[in-house]
Amino acid sequence: MSEKILKALLQLFAIIARVEGTSSAGVSGRSIVERFLRQQFSPEVAAGHLARFDAYLQAYRASGGESRNGRKRTSLNSVKVLKICAQVNEELERRQKFAVLVHLLEFIHAGGEVGEQEQEFVSTVADAFTIEQEEYLRCRSFVDGLSVGREDAAHLLYIDGAHTEAYEHAHHLHAHGLEGELRVLNLPSVGLYLVRYLGEGRVLLNGQYMSTEHHYVLGNGSSVRPPNGRPIYYSDILGSFMAGGDKPSIVFKAESISYTFPNGRTGLHELQLAETSGKLIGIMGGSGSGKSTLLSVLNGSLKPTKGKVTINGIDVHAERDRIRGVIGHVSQDDLLIEELTVGQNLFYNAKLCFGDQTDDKINERVDRLLQTLGLYETRDLKVGNPLEKTISGGQRKRLNIALELIREPSVLFVDEPTSGLSSRDSENIMDLLKELALKGRVVFVVIHQPSSDIYKLFDRLLLVDQEGFPVYYGDPVDAVVYFKRVTGQVNSDEGQCAACGNVNPEQIFDILEARMVDEYGNETDQGGLETVQSLLDT
């Protein structure tokens, strides 16, 4: 966020606080501005910007006495609001505009009864932000939700301790141990989820206590924790909104699988997992930990020594003909033909898969997929080779993924999709895979050294140590908490930074690869899984 936009937003808050008859300029309203700033900056920087807000507010208060005509003052403020919104429109994304709108709605509701002018100013902001009237009314109704009962609408999710709720349109999620309720608003046009807690319990969102007066934006990696009960993860909330679609659900299971190489060496220790449609699962581990072996067993290339892998109850190894085309695999190696263009690579691959279809239908399918993956503009460019590049590394990765997606598999395995890419290209590839998962697929990704943003995209994390020994399977952010707790660190309850929300997955490998020391302080040969196991035993 630029300095210009921040200044504009602070002025916007101050103008609305200055509206005649409003009481939202009090302590509760100021706390909303403070929370907004703390979400964007460190506490020290936020305090400085909060002082600027106070200065703007005092300036507007002082200027209010110069005009005896209230209509003229309101008109001047409206002009200022429109001017500020015009500046904001030049920089903020639509998701950020919705977040600003919700903060403004909170701001005017903080003092109790909302005045007509306050409501009019916020409505003006929504119009200036080109927010549809229907979505604006949804946001306003959600913020003012304490005064109304539960609305039965498809864009709402209610989370409480009840096991079932009879709603025709609204969604419901059972949360064991939750006192009160959580309400979630889905804004599908921008993929934004807002949550509000109504109750008296001490509920944590990403390690911070939730206030009943505030609304929070949910993001990748978010988790809500009741004081006594199971955490509610971001993937659970997404799954609740996705439930009930027309597409059949996929249930992927690995039941007590293990693998031993012909020479007797263990390649994979006993593992169990179960995942459903809409999930992005990350597989991580050190070099030589058996990630590739695990992937080969799960995708049907290697038959497990023990156990079985099933998709909706069908054994992927014993009944391969029944699931033909269901599983897709994107290897780390480049499978492109250098002499062909982007479009030709995909066309001839589709021709092999759909030989019974006409060229026109195949071209239609190819063009549609190229549009989806952002490759349409490069369809006539020759692929080239890594030494004589014609398309970028990120485009090559997307095209490799497209070679599998053309068959529309329901379960997709991707090996090291971010290897050799820039941080921006890596995020674009992972955003694509997340989007594919949200459309109803199960996507497994082997990844090495992900950034915080990429790490939080995963719905589940499977962590394997040497010889394919599974050491963790669950929520990614909770993995950091788990290993910090096992090793007795003082801040073990913090999975992500409270100030910026970043997660450092390297902490996990630092713990796994740490060596135990003897009584003289010298490192021993004992380490990795042995270190964790010894700490668990004590």
The pLDDT-based confidence of 530 (bands split at 50, 70, 90) is: low
57-66: average pLDDT? 67
Please determine, for residue 429, whether its predicted confidence score (pLDDT) is greater than 80: yes
Neighbours of 314 (CB within 10 A): 14
Place of tokens 């694509």: 432
Give the three-class secondary structure for 479: helix
- Mapping DSSP to helix (H, G, I), strand (E, B) and coil, where does residue 514 land? coil
Top mean-pLDDT range of 141-145, 361-365, 464-468: 361-365
**Mean pLDDT of the 55-78 span:** 63
Q: What CATH number matches the domain at 3-134, 1.10.150, 3.30.420, 1.10.3470, 1.10.3680?
A: 1.10.3680
Coil, strand, or helix at residue 162? coil
Read off the pLDDT of residues 400-425 as tens digits, 9 standing for 90 and up: 999 998 888 999 999 988 887 788 88
Range 477-484, long-range pairs (CB < 8 A, 24+ positions) = 477/206, 477/221, 477/223, 477/503, 478/223, 478/231, 479/505, 479/508, 480/504, 480/505, 480/507, 480/508, 483/507, 483/508, 483/511, 483/512, 483/532, 484/511
From residue 133, how far is each of 127, 128, 148, 185, 515 by CA, in Å? 8, 11, 20, 16, 60
Per-residue pLDDT tens over the stretch 363-387: 999 999 998 888 889 999 998 887 7
Domain parsing of the chain, residue ranges: 3-134, 156-242, 251-471, 475-537
526: helix, strand or coil = strand
H or E element at residue 192:
strand 192-198
Greater model confidence, 344 or 335: 344
Sheet containing strand 266-276, strands side by side: 266-276, 251-260, 306-311, 314-315
Query: How does the average pLDDT of the chain come out, rounded?
Result: 82
- Buried/exposed 461-490: b ≥16 CB within 10 Å, e otherwise: bbbbbbebbbbbbebbbbbbbbbbeeeeee
Rounded alpha-carbon distances, angstroms, from residue 250 to 286, 304, 470: 30, 21, 23
**CA 410, CA 412: separation in Å to the nearest integer?**
7
Query: What is the pLDDT, as a whole number, of residue 520?
Result: 64
Phi and psi for 253 in degrees, rounded to 5?
-130, 140
Query: Percent of the chain having pLDDT more than 90?
Result: 25
Residues 196 and 145 sit within 8 Å (Cβ to Cβ): yes
Within its chain, how far is the Cα of 528 from the centroid?
A: 30
Query: Quick one: pLDDT at residue 247?
Result: 58
Distance (Å, whole) CA 48 – CA 218: 26
Per-residue pLDDT tens digits for 252-296:
999 999 999 999 899 999 999 999 888 999 999 888 888 889 999
> If we measure between CA atoms, which residue out of 169, 84, 154, 177 comes closest to residue 122?
84
| Fold held by 156-242 | Tumour Suppressor Smad4 (2.60.200)
- CATH number of this structure's domain 251-471: 3.40.50.300
Q: How many CA atoms lie within 13 A of 219 on its CB side?
A: 17
When pLDDT is cut at 50, 70 and 90, the band that residue 526 belongs to is: low
Taking only Cα atoms into account, the Rg of the chain, rounded to an integer number of angstroms, comes to 27
Q: What is the pLDDT confidence band of residue 512, given thresholds at 50, 70 and 90?
A: confident
Rounded CA separation 76/418 (Å):
52
Phi, psi of 374, deg, nearest 5: 70, 30
Strands (E), 213-323: 216-218, 223-225, 232-233, 251-260, 266-276, 279-285, 306-311, 314-315
Element (H, E) at 420: none
Residue 174, H or E segment: strand 171-174
Per-residue confidence (pLDDT) for residue 182, from 0 to 100: 93
Q: Give me the mean pLDDT over the 492-506 stretch.
A: 71
Whether the pLDDT of residue 34 is over 50: the answer is yes
Question: Above 90 in pLDDT, residue 342?
Answer: yes
Among 183-192, 335-344, 471-480, 494-503, name the one with the lowest average pLDDT: 494-503
- What pLDDT does residue 480 have? 84
